[in-house]
Structure 1
């Protein structure tokens, strides 16, 4: 029996992956997902890009259904954009697709995700002194190296994801001054012992 899919999460397929697998497009999508609606000019300034480049890549993201107009925010000629989904789901089968362009897009996507996660962590480490002391006592940067079979590794990943999901329903109201967006990053991969 298939478990129901969360409509807030978009599953990537070969076509949509090719429309997303570009460093600037992924940065733009993240900026809209985590920062809320914005214009091409606002995003250009935030990301240090030209408004022409951001406009082009925003249109590409819209053509592939990743973002949509936010008309409730627009005034006059300003075009506001917002993320169409809260999350993305990557299918490992894309890495083995018969089309080399799809495999290349899958590799690009995964490398950009890893780069973005590293950038987020580095930003936190560089700015943690600006956060209240209570937040400086709650963050975590740990690792564990375990000897597992592929089946046990999959079980561990699934349990970590299930645990994170239990907190999604406990989300704190945006008006709560003590709340902040908290990024949870999980990584599990085999290490070469040679």
Structure 2
């Protein structure tokens, strides 16, 4: 389980048997929005080729191939030896998930840029996934009418209470984690708890 200072990326249905902790080197490798997107797609949908991923992200296969090689160099993806040929390389994630403690990097001036790019990429990725669902809403109505939800709220909490809340939410999520069964859909869950500055006149 990650703490509120952690950023955690998990493959849907994964049992968290293979989790990598990001270090400074791998953080730099993920400091690129397209690499975050490619890794997310491989974890969510399984092995793919550079050309197949290129079609999905709107880039050239040369571009996706180069970024996949960068991810491989840093141990985040690897070739899938059970697929493909000499002319067609398939890629898969090396771990089902990864996590990091933001506090381990935030005070390092050399990592300020990579950390900001990575975190911003995660937020953009979250927005893109939610926007895609809204765009595809008609096709989900039969099965998911009144089932999907977007929820946000504002609470008055101390940092310790926010930590306790996050741990409770994550414990609930873990209770529902299992392998895929017939009839299942991949369900995305997002959780965040962070402070917001008050209005200037309230300071």
> Fold match, TM over 0.5?
yes
Secondary structure at 1:59 match in 2: helix
Give the one of 2, 21, 24 matched to 1:14. Answer: 24
What does the per-residue CA deviation read over 1:156-189, in whole Å, with 9 as the maximum and x for residues that have no partner? 0111111111111x3333xx1x211100000111
Q: Does 1:38 align with 2:48?
A: yes
Question: Hey, what's the Cα distance between the residues in 2 that align with 1:163 and 1:103?
Answer: 33
Residues 49 and 91 in structure 2, CA contact (< 8 A), matched pair in contact too? yes
Residues 14 and 94 in structure 1, CA contact (< 8 A), matched pair in contact too? no
Q: Which runs of 5+ in 1 are unaligned?
A: 1-5
1:187 corresponds to: 192
Alignment of 1:1-194 (within 5 A): 6-98=16-108, 100-168=109-177, 170-173=178-181, 176=182, 178-194=183-199
Q: Which runs of 5+ in 2 are unaligned?
A: 1-15
Secondary structure at 2:20 match in 1: strand
Question: Hey, what's the Cα distance between the residues in 2 that align with 1:161 and 1:190?
Answer: 19
Question: Hey, what's the Cα distance between the residues in 2 that align with 1:40 and 1:94?
Answer: 33
Residues 94 and 102 in structure 1, CA contact (< 8 A), matched pair in contact too? no
Structure 1 runs (4+) deviating above 4 angstroms are none
Q: CA deviation at 1:92?
A: 1.6
Higher relative contact order (CA 8 A, sep 6+): 2
Question: Hey, what's the Cα distance between the residues in 2 that align with 1:148 and 1:66?
Answer: 36
Aligned pair count reads 184
TM-score, L = length of structure 2: 0.86
Q: CA deviation at 1:26?
A: 0.7
Question: Hey, what's the Cα distance between the residues in 1 that align with 2:176 and 2:114?
Answer: 31
TM-score, L = length of structure 1: 0.89
What does the per-residue CA deviation read over 1:37-65, in whole Å, with 9 as the maximum and x for residues that have no partner? 11111111111111111111100000111
Deviates more, 1:86-95 or 1:144-153: 86-95
